[in-house]
Amino acid sequence: MAENQLGGQQVLFLPEGATRVLGRDVQRTNIAVAVAVANAVKTTLGPKGMDKMMVSDLGDIVITNDGATILSEMNVEHPVAKIMVDIAKTQEKEVGDGTTTVVIMAGELLKGAGELLEQGIHPTTIIRGLKTAADRASKILDEKSIKIDIDDDKTLQKIALVSMGSKNIGDDAAKTHLSNLIIKAVKQVMVKDPSGKLVVDHDFIKLEKKTGGSVSDTELINGVLVDKEVAHPGMPKNITNAKIALLDVALEIEKTETDARIEITSPDQMQAFIQQEETILKERVEKIRKSGANVVFTQKGIDDVALHFMAKAGILAARRIKKSDMEKLSRATGGKIVTSLDDLGSNDLGFAGMVEEKKIAGESMIFVEKCKDPKSVTIFIRGGTQQVIDEVERSTDDVIGAVSGTIEEGRYVIGGGAIEIELAKGLREFASEVGGKEQLAIQKFADALEVVPKTLAESAGMDTVDTLVQLRSKHNAKDGANYGVEIFRNTVADMGKLGVFEPKKVKQQEIYSASEAAQIILRIDDMISSRAKSGGAGAPPGGGMPGGEME
């Protein structure tokens, strides 16, 4: 029960069992939780990062090193931990990659801010310094980034390989194969907006997966893979030069919305009633046939009688297609989704070079491929086990984000921790110009950026202090701006020559997201929980993370 004193009288304003944490106590708690979350994913960073096995209450297993997936599967309770999960989700949604980095950077920023708070520096001064540092880091990032030509597939492939470098999804050949498919898919669906800027809508790169084969058997379908089977055994199983009708119409006699009663008193009337239904369905199928369509996809149902007539007419049909798949089919084939058969004409039909039903892993699926310049494509993922294809799917999603982010922004940076060291160097120089207590927060921001090369070195078994000293020395030299952590030879090396590139867009989002999350958490000076049970939102350190351990 929260209380206050007014003229010596006790004033109660919260229910019995409510908890309240104030001032430095809540700041220490929040920072401890944020650092614990960051430490939970820290070891997954980089090509030598480790995986986490997440086991749900039901016994479902997820093996991954994707930051956003790990955090969402952890089912954290403390509100600050939820903020850390949210920044990983935002990073995933906005740019598709960099989820682990943004979380460990936010944790490091708060760790540094905690040290400043202990020195008596006010939170608003620290917040102002962090905001100034983020803006400055963004400007330095602009200066250090490199322009890319969208036809430069070699550089795009290097960016893709760095993005999937930490994922355990097969050998180098499989990763190269996968990166090539993703680059082709992104380029296929990209369009120019009215201002002339290239835009990639990730929704139109469909990821479909089935166990069986290996990761190298993953293929790009220039069209859409529909996880349905042909609706009638008498229908053709494959059609070349398909003319496709996309319908949002039920090819069945639907029940009336209001209650209705039909009185039938003789077998002849019953026969006439059935005949009338058949006639209506036959007319609907005839309208489809007259339009020239030989393939039909509909969001609604198809009556068995209508299926019979369509099979006789040689039309391949599939029913109850998801709305999202219908939109993808429209983008891929050029067909229009029709809501009335009276409006269906040859101009509304889409085209595909081949529509074919295939059996994959014992399940029938319809491949709509060989479309003319499709603006929706499918990456069909294969792998030996469910865990493998799930991780390939997550990795593919990350790489799509990295490649499309590079194309949209038109710029990339040197990876392997090189850009972070450059940003830290620039911020330290800037801090001395700023002066005042804010410069201390800017220096802490510089320290937080260096957590990336430190973590890369740590995961490779290198001495982090020696590595950081060497990198700072190289970056202070004339031609050392591209030096980063070469984890495969346990040394520092020129990452530009090694082709370790990352999208500028991902780095920029990391800087702003981590900075904003730290600012939000630092602003909190009072945490009130109305929940009576222990271990709730206002619980002290240890109550908000699974396992209760604070690192």
* DSSP assignment string, 261-330: -----SHHHHHHHHHHHHHHHHHHHHHHHHTT-SEEEESS-B-HHHHHHHHHTT-EEE-S--HHHHHHHH
CA 244, CA 233: separation in Å to the nearest integer? 19
Of 431, 421, 342, 335, the closest CA to residue 130 belongs to: 431
Ramachandran quadrant class, 66 (left: phi over 0; alpha: psi -120 to 50; beta: rest): beta
Q: Which of 19, 43, 44, 100 is catalytic?
A: 100
Q: Which of 51, 397, 398, 494 is catalytic?
A: 398
Q: Which of 43, 51, 66, 467 is catalytic?
A: 66
Of 249, 325, 259, 320, the closest CA to residue 287 belongs to: 249
* Residue 468: C-alpha distances to residues 450, 451, 498, 521 (Å): 8, 10, 19, 29
CA 382, CA 475: separation in Å to the nearest integer? 43
Per 3-state DSSP, what percentage of the chain is helix, strand, and coil (rounded to 5)?
A: 50, 20, 30
Q: Which of 99, 101, 218, 467 is catalytic?
A: 99
Bridge partners for 379 per DSSP: 207, 220
**3-class secondary structure, 370:** coil
Per the CB < 8 A criterion, the answer to whether 452 and 422 are in contact is: no
User: Is 455 a catalytic site residue?
Assistant: no
User: Is 99 a catalytic site residue?
Assistant: yes
User: Is 100 a catalytic site residue?
Assistant: yes
* DSSP assignment string, 144-157: H-EE--TT-HHHHH
Instruction: Decide: residue 61, CB within 10 A, 0-12 exposed, 13-18 middle, 19+ buried.
Output: exposed
Ramachandran quadrant class, 177 (left: phi over 0; alpha: psi -120 to 50; beta: rest): alpha
* DSSP assignment string, 168-206: -SS-HHHHHHHHHHHHHHHHHH-EE-TTS-EE--GGGEE
CA 347, CA 335: separation in Å to the nearest integer? 8
Pairing state between β 363-369 and 219-221: unpaired
Which residues are the active-site residues? 66, 99-100, 398
